[in-house]
Structures are given as C-alpha cells and as structure tokens.
C-alpha cells in the first residue's frame, strides 16, 4: 500500500507511527547513508533488532491444558510434544545463549492455556512467571517481542466452540486484558501468529472432528512432494481473526506502550505465464486479507521460508529436489526479500521479520541460506523499505507441530538431558548482529 493511502493517514496510525519503542528517535528515522554500499550491505537503522524466535508450545513442554496437547494424544501420525525442550524451566539459559552470541532480541510467546487453564480462572502465578521471562530478557539486553497467541488455545476454549464459537472474541479479549498487565517494557506485541495459517488449521480442525478425516491429519508447516498443497484458508475464518485482532489491538494500545501488529505467513507466490489471475486470487485468500488488516497496525510481522509457483490451475506442489528442506519446501532464500517487499507494499507500515529460517540437519546450509536471505532483506532496505529487525526461526530445535525431525534451531537440544549445544549458525548470526553487516561475519 502506498503511504498516501487514506487508511495509513488515520489519526491512530499517525499517533502510533511516531511511537519509539527504543527511545532512540522517531520510528520514521531514515536510514543513515551507507559508506560501503553494495548489494550485500546497508546501514541499519538505530535499534535494529537481531534475534531469534520461539513459540511456547514448541519449546516449553507439558502444555497440558492446551488444545494441541489434547490433539496430540489422539491424532494418528502425530508425534507428541511431551517435555518439548523444557524451556519452561530453562528459559534463562536459552536467553543467555542468544545474548552471549551477540543478539539483542528474543521473540517468545505467552501461553493462554497456562494463564487461563480453566475458564475465567486467571493464574496470577503464571502471569508472574511470564513477567519474569520479560524481565530476564530485558536484564540480558534482549528486546522482548511477545506473541499473545501462537496456534495454541486453552483446551476448555477449544471444547466449548473454540474460535468458531460465539464467545471466542470476548474470551480472547479477557485473556489479553490479563496478559497486558505484565507487558511493561515490551516494545513489540504480536496479537496472533500467522492468522492465515491458523485459519487453515482451524478449518482442518473443524474437519478433524470427523473421525474419517482424522486419519488424514497433515502438519501445517510441512508440505512435502507427493502430498497435495495445503488447502486455502476459509476467508470467513480469516475475517473472524481480523475482528479478534482488531479487538485486542485496541486493548494492547490502551494498556501498554508497545507497538502492536500480527505476524503473517508469506508464501512469496510467483505466477507462471497464464497464472496471473490465479495468483491474485490466491494471494488475497492466503495473505492480503490479513495484510490489509495490518494497515492500521504499528508494524507487520513477516514470516518467510520459501517461494511457490502459481500456475493457471493453482499452487504448484514443490517438485522433489535434493535441495528441498526437511519439511519438503524448496530451498529459496530469496523468498525473504520478496515477502518483505510484498508485505510493505500492501500494508504501508514498518516491517519486522518475525520468522525466517530453514529446516535442515546441515548447519552450514543454514548459514548459507540465512546469508542469502539477509542479502535480499538488505537489498529491500536499500530500496527504501522500512525494516525494524530480523528474528530468525528458531532459537532452538523444537517441536515442529506434530514432528520432531525437522530442525530449524540455532541451538541443538538433547531431548533426554536437555543439554543445549549452540550451533555455528548462532555464532555466525551473532557476529552479523554485532557488526551490522554480512561481510566480515565469521563462518
Ligand atoms: C511457522 C510457525 C512456527 C514454525 C515455523 C517453522 O509457520 O509460525 O511456529 O512452525 O513455521
């Protein structure tokens, strides 16, 4: 969306776009001119965030009051999260590893199913727990980026209508009212993670109530060769999430100083000749519905992993290829630049890269992928796109929504002993962060 779009000039937006989470100057500070400008390098704006991301259910362990935990016990073909990687108890160590490596930001979530384990019972102790997490991040010099909802909901909520029930938005609002009481010092809040993928998952969950369909359960984040592409999310569910997002965005604004937005999965679709119209339709149903809803937000979270062709008949499955990742997607580090450009164009608001990474067992490949993705990001910034930070997915190898095999982490974890072993990619990303450039980074 061009910046002169009427929506972007709304009073609220003007007020919010001057908000400065880092107290380093207005968010609209132009980038300082680069002295060594080439395709791989740009001068980063003050306070640029360099970090890594996680989600509560994927790392904490024993998220027993959540709908995902319940599903894991019954769904065929799904591995269980169990102890996950016990970050529930070990978050100080996890955060310290990131900070020691040179990163200055950590995105994590707070878990509704823990804060409100039964309806209307808000746990003061769990709010205090997440407050300590925020405090630990701040003490370590990590800017906390907090997600309020990352795919998981309380089990009671799911059992009583879930997101499609009449009370969903009121219930979400009540949780967010409680959660916002602990967000002092948090400069960025994401209301919902990947509402577009989550709309698709909510649609699949509705189908999964049918025992026949349960047998066909498919991980939301894996999409390998022979299987059909993931079904498009129902725009009706998308519209509901837009309503939920808007409702809680206002609460976050009233009760905190945080910039607020949501994080949208970007597929970096590219049209084959003749596929242009199909691309427009699919881009709306998968992405733009959600990106358009970001126009009055303070930022948009961009999440990018791969790119996908769209032909006249629809999305083309990723062809089998030796370079494909562990989740079956094509190796496309260039997707990040495409994603950031598209999100900035549609939303007109500042971009924060909230997820980008690769499922691979080969850490050198992770470094190469990330270096190329950052080149694309810097090129977009050189073209004037306002990007506030880069948060890699993921800090830790973790529970990948039904699977343990794909490893996205900068840090490996032994699932028996919970011993953390930083991979070379963590040191590499930390050195990029310290220097603010790719050129002299180790690795
Ligand atoms: C995204 C999710 C995240 C993780 C990565 C690989 O869709 O937000 O939790 O699963 O994919």
Q: Is the CB of 387 under 6 A from ligand 1?
A: no
Q: Are 258 and 189 in contact (CB under 8 A)?
A: yes
Is residue 339 domain-resident? Answer: yes
Tell how far the Cα of 89 is from the centroid of ligand 1, in angstroms: 22
Q: Is the CB of 399 under 6 A from ligand 1?
A: no
CATH number of the domain where residue 328 is located: 3.20.20.80
Per-residue model confidence (pLDDT) at position 230: 85
Tell how far the Cα of 2 is from the centroid of ligand 1, in angstroms: 29
Is residue 40 domain-resident? Answer: no
Tell how far the Cα of 274 is from the centroid of ligand 1, in angstroms: 31
Is residue 33 domain-resident? Answer: no
Q: Is the CB of 190 under 6 A from ligand 1?
A: no
Q: What is the pLDDT of residues 145-164, one digit of tens each?
A: 999 999 999 999 999 999 99
Q: Is the CB of 318 under 6 A from ligand 1?
A: no
Is residue 35 domain-resident? Answer: no
Is residue 26 domain-resident? Answer: no
Please give the residue range of the domain that contains residue 336: 6-10+45-434
Q: How many domains does the chain have?
A: 1
Q: Are 266 and 339 in contact (CB under 8 A)?
A: yes
Tell how far the Cα of 416 is from the centroid of ligand 1, in angstroms: 24
Tell how far the Cα of 55 is from the centroid of ligand 1, in angstroms: 8
Radius of gyration of the chain (CA): 20
Is residue 441 domain-resident? Answer: no
Which parts of the chain sit beneath pLDDT 70?
Answer: 1-42, 210-228, 440-443
- Best residue among 393, 396, 402 to mutate for probing ligand 1's pocket (most ligand atoms within 8 Å of CB) is 393
Per-residue model confidence (pLDDT) at position 208: 72
CA distance 191 to 193: 7
Tell how far the Cα of 18 is from the centroid of ligand 1, in angstroms: 30
Is residue 105 domain-resident? Answer: yes
Q: What is the pLDDT of residues 412-423, one digit of tens each?
A: 999 999 999 999
Q: Is the CB of 397 under 6 A from ligand 1?
A: no
CA distance 167 to 148: 18
Is residue 252 domain-resident? Answer: yes
CA distance 79 to 75: 9
Length of the chain: 443
Tell how far the Cα of 436 is from the centroid of ligand 1, in angstroms: 26
Q: Is the CB of 198 under 6 A from ligand 1?
A: no
């Amino acid at each position: 969306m061009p910046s002169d779009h009427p929506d972007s000039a709304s009073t609220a937006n003007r007020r919010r776009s001057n908000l400065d989470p880092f107290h380093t100057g207005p968010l609209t500070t132009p980038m300082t001119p680069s002295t060594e400008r080439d395709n791989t390098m740009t001068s980063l704006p003050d306070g640029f965030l360099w970090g890594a991301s996680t989600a509560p259910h994927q790392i904490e362990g024993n998220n027993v009051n959540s709908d995902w935990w319940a599903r894991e016990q019954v769904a065929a073909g799904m591995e269980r999260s169990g102890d996950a990687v016990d970050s529930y108890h070990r978050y100080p160590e996890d955060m310290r590893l990131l900070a020691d490596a040179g990163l200055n930001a950590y995105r994590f979530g707070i878990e509704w199913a823990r804060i409100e384990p039964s309806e209307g019972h808000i746990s003061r102790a769990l709010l205090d727990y997440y407050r300590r997490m925020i405090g630990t991040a701040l003490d370590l010099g990590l800017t906390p980026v907090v997600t309020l909802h990352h795919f998981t909901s309380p089990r009671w909520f799911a059992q009583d209508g879930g997101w499609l029930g009449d009370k969903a938005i009121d219930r979400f609002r009540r949780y967010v009212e409680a959660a916002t009481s602990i967000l002092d010092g948090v400069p960025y809040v994401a209301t919902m993670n990947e509402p577009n993928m989550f709309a698709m998952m909510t649609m699949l969950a509705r189908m999964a109530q049918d025992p026949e369909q349960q047998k066909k359960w498919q991980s939301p984040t894996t999409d390998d060769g022979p299987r059909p592409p993931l079904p498009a999310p129902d725009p009706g569910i998308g519209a509901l999430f837009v309503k939920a997002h808007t409702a809680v965005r206002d609460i976050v604004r009233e009760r905190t100083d945080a910039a607020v937005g949501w994080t949208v999965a970007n597929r970096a679709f590219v049209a084959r000749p003749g596929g242009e119209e199909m691309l427009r339709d699919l881009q709306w149903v998968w992405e733009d519905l959600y990106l358009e809803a970001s126009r009055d937000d303070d930022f948009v979270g961009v999440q990018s992993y791969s790119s996908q062709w769209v032909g006249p008949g629809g999305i083309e499955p990723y062809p089998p290829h030796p370079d494909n990742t562990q989740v079956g997607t094509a190796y496309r580090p260039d997707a990040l630049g495409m994603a950031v450009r598209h999100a900035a164009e549609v939303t007109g608001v500042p971009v924060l890269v909230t997820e980008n990474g690769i499922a691979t067992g080969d850490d050198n490949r992770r470094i190469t992928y990330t270096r190329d993705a950052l080149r694309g990001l810097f090129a977009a910034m050189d073209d004037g796109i306002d990007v506030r930070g880069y948060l890699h997915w993921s800090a830790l190898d973790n529970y990948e929504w039904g699977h343990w095999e794909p490893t996205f982490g900068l840090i490996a974890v032994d699932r028996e002993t919970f011993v953390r072993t930083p991979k070379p990619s963590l040191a590499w990303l930390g050195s990029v962060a310290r220097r603010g450039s790719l050129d002299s980074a180790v690795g």
